[in-house]
């Protein structure tokens, strides 16, 4: 039987490689700004907190991890001086997570780096193709979320 797969075009491979490249770029550009023991796996948690803060329940939902995973990572981010927590005034069962001033500065720097990288991508492939690419990724992600609801 002939192998008809073009392994270079497998979405799983390309998403993995793109993530590796973007993680490496972020680590390289932010090396002097991030604590040395900031793990790139913290990035989705950290960026989801944002300037407004987020409840632990919403963070669990937003990045699709367990409560234990959020708790462990938030503790690490607190240890690094980037976040702090307090009980929610609206819901005593919930914890609110906020960025410290140092965390806000790092967040802003990461957002600027992402904007710069987006500008480079748009120069590389054109703004329209870039927007289509992002729209496509969102559509695929939304499809997966719908599939998970059916399970």
pLDDT in tens, the chain (151 residues): 556 678 888 999 999 999 999 888 888 888 888 888 888 889 999 999 999 999 999 999 898 888 998 999 999 999 999 999 999 888 777 899 999 999 999 999 999 999 999 999 999 999 999 999 999 999 999 999 899 888 8
Q: Write out the DSSP string of 38-77.
A: --GGGHHHHHHHTTT-EEHHHHHHHHT--HHHHHHHHHHH
- Rounded CA Rg of the chain: 18
* Alpha-carbon gap, residue 56 to 125, rounded angstroms: 38
Among 138, 130, 109, CA closest to 27 = 109
**For the chain, which domains are there?**
7-150 (1.10.10.10)
Containing H/E element for 98? Answer: strand 95-99
Question: In the numeric block, which tokens belong to residue 58?
Answer: 């919403």
């Amino acid at each position: 039987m002939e192998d008809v797969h073009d392994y270079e075009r497998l979405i799983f491979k390309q998403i993995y490689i793109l993530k590796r490249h973007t993680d490496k770029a972020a680590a390289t550009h932010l090396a002097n700004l991030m604590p040395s023991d900031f793990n790139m796996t913290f990035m989705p948690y950290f960026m989801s907190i944002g300037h407004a803060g987020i409840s632990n329940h919403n963070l669990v939902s937003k990045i699709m991890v367990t409560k234990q995973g959020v708790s462990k990572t938030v503790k690490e981010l607190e240890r690094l001086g980037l976040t702090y927590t307090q009980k929610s005034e609206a819901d005593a069962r919930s914890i609110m997570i906020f960025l410290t001033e140092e965390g806000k500065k790092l967040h802003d720097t990461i957002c600027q780096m992402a904007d710069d990288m987006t500008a480079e991508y748009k120069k590389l492939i054109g703004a329209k193709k870039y927007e289509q690419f992002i729209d496509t990724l969102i559509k695929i992600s939304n499809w997966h979320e719908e599939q998970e609801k059916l399970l």
